[in-house]
Amino acid sequence: MREAHPIEAAVGMEYYVSDAEGVGGHLRDADAAFRVREIEQFDAEPLDADPGSYPHLVVRATLRGWDTNDFARRLSDALGISRERVSWAGTKDKHAVTTQLFSLRHVDPAALPDVSDADVEVVGRAGRALQFGDLAGNEFEIVASDPDRPENVAAVTDELAAFAGGESTQANGDVVRDAAVGVPNFFGQQRFGSLRPVTHEVGLHVVREEWEDAVMAYVGNPYESEPEDTQQARRRAEECAPDWPAVLDALPRKLGFERAMVHELVENGGDDPADFRAALETLPTNLQRLLVNAAQSYVFNRVLSERLERGLPFDRPVAGDVVAFAETVDGFTVPDTDRLQRVTESRLRTVERHCERGRAFVTAPLVGTETELADGEQGDIERAVLADLGLEPGDFDLPGEFDSTGTRRAVLVRTDLTVTADPLTFEFALPSGSYATTVLREYLKTDPVDMG
Query: Hey, which residues are catalytic here?
Result: 93
3-class DSSP state for residue 67? coil
41 φ, ψ (degrees, to nearest 5): -135, 55
Beta strand 360-366 pairing with 407-410: antiparallel
Amino acid making up residue 298: Y
CA separation for the pair 129, 240 (Å, rounded): 41
Ramachandran region, residue 413 (left: φ > 0; alpha: ψ -120 to 50; beta: rest) = beta
- Measured distance CA(204)–CA(215) in Å, rounded: 12
Secondary structure (3-state) at 358: coil
The DSSP line for 75-141 is HHHHHTS-GGGEEESS---SSSEEEEEEEEET--GGGPPP-TTEEEEEEEEESS---TT-EEEEEEE
Q: How far is residue 163's CA from residue 236's CA, in Å, rounded to a whole number?
A: 47
Q: Which residues neighbour 407 within 8 Å (Cβ) at sequence distance 6 or greater?
A: 337, 365, 366, 368, 371
DSSP-assigned beta bridge partners for residue 60: 101, 121
**If you compute the radius of gyration of the chain from its CA atoms, what whole number of angstroms results?**
22
Q: How far is CA 407 from the centre of its chain?
A: 15
Q: Tell me the C-alpha distance between 428 and 31, whole Å.
A: 18
